[in-house]
Amino acid sequence: MTLYAEVVLPLPVHHAFTYRVPSSLQDRAARGSRVLVPFKQRTLTGFIIKLRRRKPSRGLEFRDVLDILDERPVFSPSFLAFTQKLSAFFHSSWGEILYASLPPSFLLQTETRVLLREEGKKALEQSSLSQDEMMVLSTLQKREYSVLFLKRSLKIKNLSSLIKGLEKKGWVEVLRTVKREKARRATRQKALPEQLEIDFSMDRASRHAVDTMAQKLKEGHFSPFCLHASSDKREAVYFHFIKKVLERKKRVLFLVPEISLTEDLVEKFETRLGGKVACLHSRLAENKKISEWVRIKQGEVDVVVGPRSALFSPVDKLDLIIVEEEHDESYYQSEAPSYDARRGAWLRAQEEGCALIFGSAHPTVETFYRAKRGSYLQSVSGRIRKTKVAVLEERTASGKLHSIIKQRIAEKLCGKEPVLMFINRRGYASFLFCSRCQYIPRCPRCDVSLNYHRREEKLVCHYCDYSLSRIFECPRCGSKIISRKGPGIEVIEEEITKSFPKGRIESFDKDVARTKTDRSKILDDYSKGRIDILIGTQLLAHQANLAPASLVVVLYPEITLSLSDFKANQKTFNDLRQMMSFASEEVLVQTSFPRHFTIQTAAGDDYLSFYNQEIKFRRLMNYPPFCTMAEILFQGENIRNLAKKSREFYALIKSRVDGVEILGPALASGPRLRGQRGIQIILKAKRRKRMDDLIKNALLPIKVRRALWIYE
């Protein structure tokens, strides 16, 4: 009897394709296996999600599966169920999510090469060839080339159509081959000796939280927790439960927001657990990534550590998932396939029937609210913070430092104590402008003002890296452009250098610390006392190995408050708390909004007061967690076409709008980026199902490039 396979492909489509499985391959066909299938003119790697004997639809012809690549499925039934739910939750392509779950070389690629035939050589002698045809045939005289090479070197529009035409004329031959990777094995690592430890890290409050959580934990059942505690207390609780899991011969998935945090964590786990730890992230070399993936798949690992992409690691016998620093926005992947690893961890824990711990000293408002309502919140009171914090109102000229800040820096330098300074703005100024005609230099591709970088005397776009030399005269009216707005890190460095000429001062941002080597050198110099004052952007605050300083200065933390984002208050609170965490004695915050509740509560390390005020704002404005919100962005170069498509979508949902609030369509609040314009529509719904039905029925038929984000 004929066997049919439903296959999802790594394409931005939301349905499976049906193929016939030849009798020679039927014994190896299984759900979760990789298959090679024909798709249009290409050969793609897909994934079997369902097998059936009955013909899906009469009267249709089905193409054959070309090959089955696995002796045993790469994806387990529980993993398939989890990724299917994640795909449906965020309206992302299931095939693209499965594609992202494997090392790149596991997805075999079709290489298309073009060969010049004898008829093509004769055609070159004709004078009737178009210029594009002449360019292609002349290039192929030397040797055969891949289509990718021809696209990059010749830069001909619609090259694929041109090659099809040349193939029909018999002038070229198109060769398609599948590049297969050699089978690889995991590199076995020597087991490290485990350290015998006496754990004194658990105080009474931590033990009470552990006991309460242990009572609710049932093996084989989904058990969520939100651990609201300081980092040291969270670590104590984590390791207590990790040891319990390993005693039961089960496994742990430990997610962190930043790749930079993985190295120290892996070292800590290896010391305590004897080396049965794997780390997965995008910056690993391909061979290392494959080796780690195979080790996890073969069950040689007890703990898997990594950022959001580690959510898709093939770990089985999963008994505990930990999402550390749950508040960090890095867990949300905005590019396709879009998903939130925090929601993904919830869905995977549900499917695996295991425990889930969200840990943070200041959780997201949504998580804290749901944890309180769901009775899975565990708050552990921390030690009283000894750091002194002063909030200073910015009263001086733009870019100048408050007199108290200069005074305290001078005192620290006299005592040979290091100082950390943070300002989350690159360059010298946010923009230059003509005071006569108000002209502002803008990026021609992104419609944003160009930032002025004084070090290089350039105007730079921070979105696409377009740059030009600084202009001194207005191209519109000819007057001098002398005005600057929005002080950046270079202004602060200049001011500090003038005020403390004998100080050893260094900056740390994307323009100075461009590579990992640059960053390591600056951090090493700072930790060894070779730098007196280190000034950095948010990039510096994300460095896990940054040594603390007795004085931390934070300048203009309200920059993020101006974002058109309902999470702007939370982001500002998180960023300010993160920068303040590097202070051992004193913090000075210079701001134009000293009485804003976000800055006041962050300065006072009072998360509960921040939460209580922010949740009132969310309820009043009907923002998550009081609704499900979908943000839909139609993107393209032709604004008229985008407007037409957005109106079509609006017309489709307007007739079904019961229970859904519609905002827009409107021009996107963000700039035109890399030539792409945007039109935005926001949907709010009390019931998630109503929102999902609207998106499936109205959005998917709209054929235009778009991005979709879901918040709840």
Domains of the chain plus CATH, in order, are 3-108 (3.40.1440.60), 110-179 (no CATH), 204-379 (3.40.50.300), 388-426+488-619 (3.40.50.300), 628-711 (3.30.70.600)
Structure tokens, 223: 């058990």
Q: Which band of pLDDT confidence, cut at 50, 70 and 90, is reported for residue 377?
A: very high
Q: Judge contact between 94 and 83, C-beta under 8 A.
A: yes
**Which residues, other chains included, contact 615 with Cβ-Cβ below 8 Å and sequence gap of 6+?**
365, 369
135-160: average pLDDT: 83
Residue by residue, what is the 3-state secondary structure of 311-356?
Answer: HHCCCCCEEEEEEECCCCHHHEECCCCCEEHHHHHHHHHHHHCCEE
pLDDT at 503 over 50: yes
Of residues 165, 244, 221, 160, the one with CA closest to residue 356: 221
The pLDDT score that the predictor gives to residue 81 is: 96
Q: Which band of pLDDT confidence, cut at 50, 70 and 90, is reported for residue 22?
A: very high
The pLDDT score that the predictor gives to residue 266 is: 84
Residue with the bigger pLDDT between 148 and 577: it is: 577
pLDDT at 223 over 50: yes
Q: Which band of pLDDT confidence, cut at 50, 70 and 90, is reported for residue 192?
A: very low
Query: pLDDT averaged over the chain?
Result: 85
Structure tokens, 387: 């750091």
The pLDDT score that the predictor gives to residue 363 is: 96
Q: pLDDT digits over 240-253, tens only?
A: 999 899 988 999 99
Give me the percent of the chain exceeding a pLDDT of 70.
92
pTM of the complete model: 0.85
628-650: average pLDDT: 85
692-712: average pLDDT: 81
* Buried/exposed 418-448: b ≥16 CB within 10 Å, e otherwise: bbbbbbbbbbbbbbbbbeeeebebbbebbeb
User: What are the distances in angstroms from CA 390 to CA 102, 523, 544, 587, 591?
Assistant: 49, 26, 25, 6, 11
Of residues 573, 575, 561, the one with CA closest to residue 604: 573
The pLDDT score that the predictor gives to residue 112 is: 78
The pLDDT score that the predictor gives to residue 195 is: 45
Residue with the bigger pLDDT between 219 and 158: it is: 158
The pLDDT score that the predictor gives to residue 98 is: 95
| Residue 360 backbone phi and psi in degrees, to 5 | -170, 150
pLDDT at 398 over 70: no
Q: pLDDT digits over 253-301, tens only?
A: 999 998 878 887 888 887 776 668 899 888 888 888 888 999 999 999 9
307-326: average pLDDT: 94
Residue by residue, what is the 3-state secondary structure of 571-639?
Answer: HHHHHHHHHHCCEEEEEEEEECCCCCHHHHHHHCCCHHHHHHHHHHHHHHHCCCCCCEEEEEEEEECCH
109-125: average pLDDT: 81
pLDDT at 181 over 80: no
Residues in the chain: 712
pLDDT at 210 over 80: yes
The pLDDT score that the predictor gives to residue 596 is: 93
Q: Which band of pLDDT confidence, cut at 50, 70 and 90, is reported for residue 488?
A: confident
Q: pLDDT digits over 42-66, tens only?
A: 788 999 999 998 877 766 788 999 8
The pLDDT score that the predictor gives to residue 305 is: 94
Roughly how many angstroms between the first and final C-alpha of the chain, as a whole number? 47
The pLDDT score that the predictor gives to residue 483 is: 64
16-41: average pLDDT: 91
The pLDDT score that the predictor gives to residue 48 is: 96
pLDDT at 111 over 90: no
The pLDDT score that the predictor gives to residue 94 is: 95
Q: Alpha helix (H) ranges present in 17-110?
A: 77-90, 94-100
Using only C-alpha atoms, what is the Rg of the chain? 29
pLDDT at 237 over 70: yes
The pLDDT score that the predictor gives to residue 694 is: 82
pLDDT at 607 over 90: yes
478-493: average pLDDT: 78
Residue with the bigger pLDDT between 58 and 30: it is: 30
The pLDDT score that the predictor gives to residue 597 is: 95
